[in-house]
Chain A
Amino acid sequence: MLRRAALIAVPYAWLLALFLIPFLIVLKIALSDYALSIPPYAPTLDLSEGWEGLRTFFAGLDFETFRFLTTDDLYWKAYLSSVWIAAVSTALALAVGYPIAYGMARAAPEWRPTLLMLVILPFWTSFLIRVYAWIGILSSEGYLNQILIGLGLIDAPLAILNTNVAVHIGIVYTYLPFMILPIYATLEKMDESLLEAAEDLGCSRVSAFWRVTVPLSKSGIIAGCFLVFIPAIGEFVIPSLLGGSETLMIGKVLWEEFFNNRDWPVASAVATVLLLILVIPIVLFQRNEQKQREAEG
């Protein structure tokens, strides 16, 4: 009994230290008011005054910043646009990732470890450097435009960098392994005789794929989509390096509130709302994982 409690205590302590406490701090800042000092908000907790200090501290907290988020349409537009960009990127990542995962699962068994390695390989270099590399590829004098012009496909360079297209490319590129790996895991487990059975019962190859392969990889597809969608919503580096002035993403807004406006309470409120938005897909993701485990159990 004690051993069980101790075992459960470890992950909870981890969650408490690395998630709940930081979240409470952020929430507290969100409830504070902007002030010209360091840290740039008030009130601050002064424990030397005892109960009285605690009371004035709590009295100083209010939801002013959250109300402010509703007055300026920048914020909800940024949230919506983030969700949209993340959703489109997720769909693209699925479209690119599924065939790759399928090909890997169908490859000869001795090739699979190598292919897996190749998928994970990009993680060995810094994410930032890889995103910078895309600037070199996508800019108007970049490799892509040079090749397209060299092939005579276009006359003038395409403006890809600093557009949402570049952001989509960046997100798909960065998060593709998170899409491929869970799909590959489900496809690899699949029994090939199921496809034979489907064909035996009158399915063509194509309809066997839609009726058997896709439903059986559903949990992998869902897991992959969440693993791309969730971090993509709050993505900051990719839109700021590859995106343009039209690119509106909440991560960028957050950064600007923190470092340009130095308005920590508003920035914290933005972060808190972002977290609340993300709770929905995270819970759905968890439920998918659980259902998957039950189905296998």
Chain B
Amino acid sequence: MAQPSPQQVFAPWEDPSETPLIEFRGVTKRFGDFTAIDDISLSIFRREFFALLGPSGCGKTTLMRMLAGFETPSEGDILLDRQDIAPVPPNKRAVNMMFQSYALFPHLSVWENIAFGLKRDRLPKDEIAARVTEMLRLTRLEKFARRKPHQISGGQRQRVALARSLAKAPKLLLLDEPLGALDKKLRQDTQFELMDIQEKTGTTFVIVTHDQEEAMTVASRVAVMDEGRLVQVATPDVIYETPASVYVADFIGDVNLLEGRATPVPEAGEGRVDLAWAEGQPPIRATTDRAFDKGQQAWFAIRPEKVTITPGRPDEAANAVKGRILDIAYLGNISTYHVELPTGHVVKAQTANTRRIARRAFTWEDEVWLSWTATAGVLLEG
């Protein structure tokens, strides 16, 4: 993860000679005495697909509105192409935004909504028509071109908003929850379309999403926000595999968290730390690149799919605990077992359903063993 990536991999954030397209420098935004954005410094590079993730009200929309020019930072600077953009009005920025509320013009048809920005650029008529047709095709709205926004469904409206923001092919495109109202199939198709557009046009995308799977699929990097601050900015796999904090681990995907006291055991190997997490249970053996003091409070975070579930005690596992199956969640392709340990902790283990459900190996109330390797989880400070 922290290894230098090979040259062909797209990772401009690791190249110190690369200049970012967008740079936030200590940006703070206050509404009255409420701080919506708290001292954020961040670089986003050309051709990135940058995803903002965070709970409702953490400041994602506010961050975007500052980029689009509808809010000015209370402190700090935002640079676009090394230029401070504070004095540039929204209509002069090479930035387009898709609004979370869509903000479609109710008096204009779908066609005219999409053409709105193009007409402002005074493009020739046939060029506008061609571009609008292309956008309609992309968002599968050809049939609705003549309708007014109030005559189409919520998902269709969302697609109009997306088409309208894409139409001008800006340098930077801000998408505030662009696909939330679409069904799964259409959402996946649109995600691939977006990635495709990005390949072709080299547009930089900043996208807000509540769907971590979406962030994982499309994003080159993910920023997890909490209460106006950036908690972690990294590639999707780093965020998932080595979250920086309990908050990130908990926010992205499913995770088991076990609290305890750390004891470094350097004699057992590099980065080896034991976690005493419950009376009468062997300590959890973990590997970490963080330094822990003896007796320091720590959390062990492990994804359910990295926990193996077996009927008997496995021979060679670094960590193994016995428990009883409390609940089984059948999700089609996978099943999640909720296993209660004698200590009262409930640990989730996930397995792929390679057999038919009737031939499942475990059922409720079964005694099972959970096991995982020393490197399967991460040890976090808080």
Contacts and interface: CB of A to CB of B under 8 A. Distances in A.
Interface stretch (B9-17, B45-53, B113-121, B215-223): B113-121
B101 A199 contact: no
Interface in B15-68: 68
A200 B121 CA distance: 12
Contacts of A203: 91, 120
B92 to A, nearest CB: 8
A72 interface: no
B103 A196 contact: yes
B130 to A, nearest CB: 18
A29 B99 CA distance: 64
Contacts of B89: 199, 204
Interface string A175-208: 0000000000000000101101111111110010
Contacts, number: 59
Contact of B105 (A194, A200, A204, A207): A194
B114 to A, nearest CB: 10
A295 interface: yes
A196 B90 contact: yes
Given A196-B90, A295-B150, A201 B117 contact: yes
A153 to B, nearest CB: 39
Contacts of B200: none
B107 interface: yes
Contact of A202 (B68, B91, B97): B91
Assign chain A's interface to a size class. 10 to 19
> Which applies to chain A's interface (DSSP): helix, strand, loop or mixed?
helix
Contact of A200 (B96, B104, B148, B150): B96
Which of B89, B90, B101, B164 gathers the greatest number of chain A CB atoms within 10 Å? B90
Range class of the B interface residue count: 20 to 34
A200 B116 CA distance: 11
A201 to B, nearest CB: 3
A193 B121 contact: no
B105 A197 contact: yes
B311 interface: no
A296 B117 CA distance: 25
A167 B90 CA distance: 46
A39 interface: no
B107 A197 contact: no
A215 interface: yes
B364 interface: no
Contacts of A212: 105
Nearest to A216: B107
Main secondary structure of the interface of B (DSSP, over half): loop
A262 to B, nearest CB: 54
B168 A201 contact: yes
A194 B106 CA distance: 9
A200 B97 contact: yes
A126 B89 CA distance: 50
A191 B105 CA distance: 10
A9 B286 CA distance: 83
B70 interface: yes
A101 B150 CA distance: 26
Contacts of B121: 202
Contacts of B150: 295-296
Contacts of B90: 196, 199-200
A218 B107 CA distance: 10
Contacts of A199: 69, 89-91
B348 to A, nearest CB: 41
Nearest to A214: B107
Contacts of B95: 200
Nearest to B174: A200
B168 A196 contact: no
A197 B168 contact: no
Interface string B78-98: 000000000001110001110
A183 to B, nearest CB: 16
Contacts of B120: 201-203, 207
A212 B96 CA distance: 18
A201 B164 contact: yes
Nearest to A192: B103
Given A200-B90, A203-B91, A216-B106, A193 B99 contact: yes
B91 A194 contact: no
Given A201-B120, A201-B164, A203-B120, A193 B103 contact: yes
A203 B91 CA distance: 6
B162 to A, nearest CB: 13
Given A193-B101, A201-B164, A295-B106, 6 more contacts: A193-B99, A194-B106, A200-B91, A203-B91, A203-B120, A204-B89
Q: 9 shortest A-B CB distances, which residue pairs? A: A201-B117, A202-B120, A197-B103, A193-B103, A199-B90, A215-B107, A199-B91, A202-B91, A200-B97
29 contacts: A191-B101, A191-B103, A193-B101, A196-B68, A197-B103, A197-B164, A199-B89, A199-B90, A199-B91, A200-B69, A200-B91, A200-B97, A201-B96, A201-B116, A201-B120, A201-B168, A202-B117, A202-B120, A202-B168, A203-B91, A203-B120, A204-B89, A207-B120, A212-B105, A215-B107, A216-B106, A218-B107, A295-B148, A295-B150
